[in-house]
Chain A
Amino acid sequence: MIRALHRWPGLLALALITGLALSGAALSVFPAAERLSAPQAEAGLTVAALADRIQTVYPGVEQIRRSASGRITAYWFDHGAPGAAAIDPATGEGVASADPNQAERWLTNLHRSLFLGDGGRIAMAVGAAAMLVLSLSGTMLVARRAGGWRRWFAPLRGPLAGRLHVEIARIAVFGLVLSSTTALWMTASTFDLLPDGSTAPAMRAEVSGETGFALHQMPALLQTPVAELRELSFPYPGDATDVFTLKTDRGTGYLDQGTGALLGWSDLTGWERVYETIYMLHTGRGAATLGLVLGLMALGTPMMGATGVLIWLAGRRRRPRIRGNQPAGGAETIVLVGSEGGSTWGFAATLHAALTDAGQSVHVGPMSGFAPERYTRAERIIVFAATYGDGAAPASAKGFLDRLSAAGGAPRIPLAVLGFGDRSFPVYCAFAKAVAAAAQAKGWPEFLPLDTIDRQSPQDFARWGRALGEALGLDLELSHQPILPAAETLTLVSRRDYGAEVQAPTAILRFALPPATLWQRLTGAGFARFTAGDLIGVVPEGSAVPRLYSLASARRDGFIEIVVKKHPGGLCSRQLTTLEPGDRVTAFLRRNPGFRPGWGRAPLILIGAGTGIGPLAGFVRGNSGRRSIHLFFGMRHPDSDFFYGEELPALQEKGRLTRLVTAASRGTRPHYVQDALRGDAAEVAHLIRNGARVMVCGGRDMATGVADALAEILAPAGLAPAVLKAEGRYVEDVY
């Protein structure tokens, strides 16, 4: 619901809001410029003195105005011709033209009415209202995504467009809410919807009928500092019944031109004061710095519009139409999807197609539509559950747990839960786990244990598909590639072999950089831009499912390097490890923004085992800034599978690697990388307390062992891996 409230106003009012924001940002400069250029009155100058100075220079003066920026303008008549100038209050002389700035006037008219009069004003007010709705719904989405209001500024993970969108929004939203609310108030006031019109002028006592009282002796003018002046209007020459009209920021009064007496006074009403404050907040007139800040925040709007459209398009692409979806009452297999952005639907569609091909009748629906009493012919229920933010139910799974707990008994139809998540988040697949736990507590039978898919991994999904196929007695190949990027041909230039002696044949494969087109170079698409830790997807011959490998090199290294271990029966790893220099392979680049060392000087603790060394070695090689890096590397035997064993000492000598700690699981004193961490506990705890960032790459068991070891090491310091993850200081790339 909130997402829809965010999406549709955003898409529909995109052009309007962009126009409003850009013109508003441009307008924010003028009050500041006026504030800087206008000569300011000296402290303590009274209106009496100022008016006297101006009248001395311009005897025909009719009106003196002071704008919120402090600029003083005088209007006069001289021999029947009107004149006006911005005044230097120190001398009373005109120093600049008083004509309105044409650019500012043009922008103002564009900003408030698109040059279309009242219709345009209403259109722009609709734009402001859309901006307010977007700001409020976006605020709730950000809070939900971050896992609570207190985590408003928590580090972000995920695809670039989404991160940029939130990164800008969580700062700009304050300005946008202020600007849009004040805009709506001002429009309501313009259309007389608010009782803030000026009141009837004050009752005025009879004028004396005399003229010629000296300006600089009028008590009311002597008591009013220039800082409070809004406007002083002079009586018509020769009209003894006319009066001086004085407007200050407190109210309006009339002065007798013959006696200087105050003939009447009316204070500003509360509504008028509110309007003036709102006008100041919106325009920056009288608050130039605030205006500039609001203008800067408004500049984020076009960027948010662009990234918002990208997010929407990506979500649409990810959510395919499911052809031949069976009604829930007649299907043998019920697939329930809990998805926030839409990507999980793509996996459901793949499963639907594969099961339908295998002769099953399948219904796919949202988890929020869970209704076990309707599944009369169902033999199994499969739940695909993504997680939103810090373990919350995703949009299409709202209410699922409530419905389950409200249901009388447990459904008798066996269940399988598959979680979709991102291991770099503090709570991985938390919602799927909650669903599985609730089902178990209820006594719901399970036909497959809970499994998880990390970052939409096609490999994880294919593996789960094989398990599902076994359970159903079907030969099931689930090949799902969410967005298949354009693949390129890579040519192997060299290979280094390790590990044959320890039954783990592994190769470090180095490919030549494919030539980048001009377009790729400009946009950084494909292999035109990559860093160590990004992934390449290799599509092996004989399968449609790409396999992902972590890159051990960056673009500036001039080559593409991966570390591949030959798995028994592994299709892709067998093909890769038999490549000889000159052979070719088809691959595409997948960015992995969650696994980067990041900027800054904080020390890095890199922990990896086996082929997980790849990206870590890449980080060390790229450490030209000599950031402190501590590398913990687990292998089987130093004589056989010490990958990069020749390169690392040289890097250490160059200062790119501070310390290398190895652990060998075979040999005289077998231990694992987590043992090496424990053996170095004091140093590791010291580094982490001082802001070090931990990056783990390797197999799942190793990552679990490392997390356990770190939990032990950090417990005395009151820290935990989960806390570090939440701060974005503990990232994993696990396979």
Chain B
Amino acid sequence: MKSVLATLALTTALTLPGLAMARPVTMTTTLNNYGGDGAYLALYVTGAGGAYVGSLWMAGGKSKYYEHLTEWYRATGGDSAEVNGITGASVGAGRSLEITLDLADALFDAGYTLHIDAAVEDMRDSPNEVAIPLTRAGAGTPVNGRRYVADFAYDM
């Protein structure tokens, strides 16, 4: 179980400085036993129409492999500055990644979508492993991923 507390005050446009307008959100991503090495995961948000807004977390330290997170890579142009300071280790099969971020209230119920791209060495690239709209009502409801993510949920 990985637990990361990150305050995204400086890193992305997704957080607002005043605590009154932001709230801590815990995101839990549990991987299934897919039988491979540690997975690279990119958590990011797109706005209405699919436009990239910003990154929340990058699990996986070697920028050389980011191209396999294909949707994230295309959206950001592979710019690893997008995940400066919000990068952690890759996540092993069957393990969980738990991160807590202060997310701006304005992101919820406003047409934003949270995406997870996943990739594993010598296995398929899995862009949009998870893609769920950010809503207050959806909090606490786990959703299944496509290939590597057993379930994902965010709690506020």
For B146, what are the chain A residues with a Cβ–Cβ distance below 8 Å?
A: 77, 82
Q: A198-B78, A200-B77 are in contact. Are A100 and B124 (CB under 8 A)?
A: no
Q: Is the CB of B70 within 8 A of A233?
A: yes
In the docked arrangement, what's the CA distance between A190 and B19, Å?
Answer: 39
In the docked arrangement, what's the CA distance between A245 and B125, Å?
Answer: 13
Contact with B along A109-146 (1 / 0, CB 8 A): 10000000110000000000000000000000000000
Contact with B along A47-75 (1 / 0, CB 8 A): 00000000000000011000000000001
In the docked arrangement, what's the CA distance between A720 and B77, Å?
Answer: 73
CB-CB nearest in chain B for A204: B74
Determine whether A241 belongs to the interface, using a CB cutoff of 8 Å to chain B: yes
Determine whether B155 belongs to the interface, using a CB cutoff of 8 Å to chain A: no
Q: Is the CB of B64 within 8 A of A190?
A: yes
In the docked arrangement, what's the CA distance between A100 and B120, Å?
Answer: 11
Among candidates B35, B37, B61, B124, residue contacting A63 with C-beta atoms closer than 8 Å: B124
Q: Is the CB of B62 within 8 A of A84?
A: no
Determine whether A189 belongs to the interface, using a CB cutoff of 8 Å to chain B: yes
Q: A100-B35, A201-B77 are in contact. Are A192 and B147 (CB under 8 A)?
A: no
Q: Is the CB of A109 within 8 A of B124?
A: no
Size bracket, chain B contacts: 20 to 34
Determine whether A691 belongs to the interface, using a CB cutoff of 8 Å to chain B: no
Interchain nearest-CB distance for A102 vs B (Å): 7
For B70, what are the chain A residues with a Cβ–Cβ distance below 8 Å?
A: 233, 245
In the docked arrangement, what's the CA distance between A61 and B70, Å?
Answer: 17
For B122, what are the chain A residues with a Cβ–Cβ distance below 8 Å?
A: 100, 105
Determine whether A373 belongs to the interface, using a CB cutoff of 8 Å to chain B: no
Contact with B along A292-321 (1 / 0, CB 8 A): 000000000000000000000000000000
Determine whether B67 belongs to the interface, using a CB cutoff of 8 Å to chain A: yes
Q: A100-B35, A190-B62, A190-B64 are in contact. Are A241 and B50 (CB under 8 A)?
A: yes
Q: Is the CB of A192 within 8 A of B124?
A: no
Q: Is the CB of B128 within 8 A of A100?
A: no
Q: Is the CB of B128 within 8 A of A198?
A: no
Contact with A along B91-133 (1 / 0, CB 8 A): 0000000000000000000000000000000111110100000
Q: A100-B36, A105-B36 are in contact. Are A192 and B63 (CB under 8 A)?
A: yes
Determine whether B52 belongs to the interface, using a CB cutoff of 8 Å to chain A: no
Determine whether A197 belongs to the interface, using a CB cutoff of 8 Å to chain B: yes
From DSSP, what is the main secondary structure of chain B's interface residues? Answer: loop
Interchain nearest-CB distance for A241 vs B (Å): 7
Q: Is the CB of B124 within 8 A of A84?
A: yes
Q: A201-B73, A241-B50, A245-B70 are in contact. Are A100 and B123 (CB under 8 A)?
A: yes
In the docked arrangement, what's the CA distance between A190 and B123, Å?
Answer: 18
Q: Is the CB of B77 within 8 A of A105?
A: no
Interchain nearest-CB distance for A110 vs B (Å): 12
Interchain nearest-CB distance for B58 vs A (Å): 14
Among candidates A77, A189, A233, residue contacting B64 with C-beta atoms closer than 8 Å: A189
CB-CB nearest in chain B for A254: B74
For A199, what are the chain B residues with a Cβ–Cβ distance below 8 Å?
A: 78
Q: Is the CB of A236 within 8 A of B128?
A: yes
- Residues of A206-241 at the interface with B, using a CB-CB cut-off of 8 Å, are 233, 236, 241
Interchain nearest-CB distance for A540 vs B (Å): 70
CB-CB nearest in chain B for A84: B124
Among candidates A99, A197, A233, residue contacting B63 with C-beta atoms closer than 8 Å: A197
Interchain nearest-CB distance for A230 vs B (Å): 12
For B128, what are the chain A residues with a Cβ–Cβ distance below 8 Å?
A: 236
For B61, what are the chain A residues with a Cβ–Cβ distance below 8 Å?
A: 118
Contact with A along B5-26 (1 / 0, CB 8 A): 0000000000000000000000
In the docked arrangement, what's the CA distance between A190 and B63, Å?
Answer: 9
Q: Is the CB of B74 within 8 A of A109?
A: no
Contact with B along A156-193 (1 / 0, CB 8 A): 00000000000000000000000000000000011110
For A63, what are the chain B residues with a Cβ–Cβ distance below 8 Å?
A: 124-125
Residues on A facing B (Cβ under 8 Å): 62-63, 75, 77, 82, 84, 99-100, 102, 105, 109, 117-118, 189-192, 197-201, 233, 236, 241, 245
A/B interface sample: 22 pairs, CB < 8 A: A63-B124, A75-B124, A77-B146, A82-B126, A82-B146, A82-B147, A84-B124, A99-B123, A100-B36, A100-B122, A100-B123, A102-B35, A109-B37, A189-B64, A190-B62, A192-B64, A198-B64, A200-B79, A201-B74, A201-B78, A233-B125, A241-B50
Can you add 8 more A-B contacts, CB < 8 Å, to A82-B146, A105-B37, A199-B78? A82-B124, A82-B147, A100-B36, A190-B62, A190-B64, A200-B77, A201-B78, A245-B70
